[in-house]
Amino acid sequence: MNRQFPKSLHDLGFSGLAAVLAAAGVVPHHAKALWRALYRESALDLSACDFLPPLQRWVHQSVGAGKAFFLDVPEVVDEIRSTDGLTRKFLLRLCDGQIIETVLMGYDARQTVCVSTQAGCAMGCVFCATGRMGFVRHLRPGEIVAQVLHARRILQQIHPHKRLRNLVLMGMGEPLNNLNAVLQALDIISDTRGIGIGPSKIAISTVGVVPGILQLAAEARPYRLAVSLHGSTDEERTALVPAGRRWPLDTLIDACRSYGKTTGKRIFFEWTLIAGTNDAPQTAVRLAKLLDGIDAHINLIPLNPTDGFAGTASPSGLAFQKILLAAGFPCTFRQSRGIDVAAGCGMLQAAKRRVSLPDCDSTRPITE
């Protein structure tokens, strides 16, 4: 496939879409109708849309197999539903054959989609199934957007009156290592003329990529930030999160302080509780001291079991939480979703590999 063409229409922001039409001699005003079809109507086939003649001709000439543009519509390789009916996990095949995971989660009135930002992941977190797969490639903006569109189509089929309200970038991959594509995708997803998920309902989760955190602060991005911490000392953290060797805790916490001071936003710190590893009372005390002065909310996460990691879920979560609450930090447990459908990052894909087919943290969304 030529690296320039065909190109996905879902990679283009509104101004880019208008520019493409203008270059083809189509009045840019038609970009509104095209944008609405792509994002408000989640169109799978533009040729079936009722456009005015100039735009209809352009679609016929320019969009489709063997033409200049295509739509990102990933193939569903597998779908597994939780026994409670609230979580659906999708294994999606991209146009080059790479496979990613997307999870649709229901919480009463709230509907949340967890999306991937990379195929595989280079971070190597020891308790994450995706981390053990290694990095394959970054996703394009359109491939990120396409996951949201897929989840919304499914939601419209099963619950026509419910709206997809929350988005968490906690699927396969490290979002801040693919930040430009992520931000382009989020500009599309949050555009009120289309999908319209509000920025305050969008969370970017990072293992602690300091340059990305500082870029989000410098650009005053309106999205919420979640930082996977998991350790209160460098030794404790790097045993679980190898990226901690590149960005030690003092560097990471300084970046978080800078982010909070610059943006005025609360940071969500994620802590996966692992028995005998990071759940001791003295660890909670060190964590409270580490985050002192930061507007922080601590999310305690029950460990999802994954092959290849011998750790077990901690029975000491309530005692750990009590210490942090006493130190003045909001501290909550994530409400688990989809454990029975292997909803942790990379778990379904790994299972498919075992039966010969390639950490969305599917827990309560932090964007409440």
Residues 37 and 175 occupy one common structural domain? no
Total domains, the chain: 2
- Is 256 annotated as catalytic? no
**186 assigned to some structural domain:** yes
- Is 345 annotated as catalytic? yes
pTM for this predicted structure: 0.91
Residues 108 and 174 occupy one common structural domain? yes
- Catalytic choice (41, 101, 114, 331): 101
pLDDT in tens, the chain (368 residues): 344 569 999 999 999 999 999 999 999 999 999 999 999 999 999 999 999 999 999 999 999 999 999 999 999 999 999 888 789 999 999 999 999 999 999 876 789 999 999 999 999 898 888 777 889 999 999 999 999 999 999 999 999 999 999 999 999 999 999 999 999 999 999 999 999 999 999 999 999 999 999 999 999 999 999 999 999 999 999 999 999 999 999 999 999 999 999 999 999 999 999 999 999 999 999 999 999 999 999 999 999 877 778 788 899 999 999 999 999 999 999 865 544 545 455 555 555 543 333 344 433 444 44
Residues 273 and 154 occupy one common structural domain? yes
CATH number of the structural domain spanning residue 149: 3.20.20.70
DSSP assignments along 308-352, one per residue: T----B-S-HHHHHHHHHHTT--EEE--B--GGGT-STTHHHHHH
- Catalytic choice (125, 256, 331, 345): 345
What is the domain extent for residue 36? 7-70
**125 assigned to some structural domain:** yes
**360 assigned to some structural domain:** no
Which of 17, 48, 70 lies at the terminal end of a domain, its last residue? 70
Which of 27, 52, 70 lies at the terminal end of a domain, its last residue? 70
List C-alpha distances in Å: 351 to 129, 139, 307, 356: 10, 22, 9, 9
**362 assigned to some structural domain:** no
Residues 62 and 118 occupy one common structural domain? no
Ramachandran class of 253: left when φ > 0, alpha when ψ lies in -120 to 50, beta otherwise: alpha
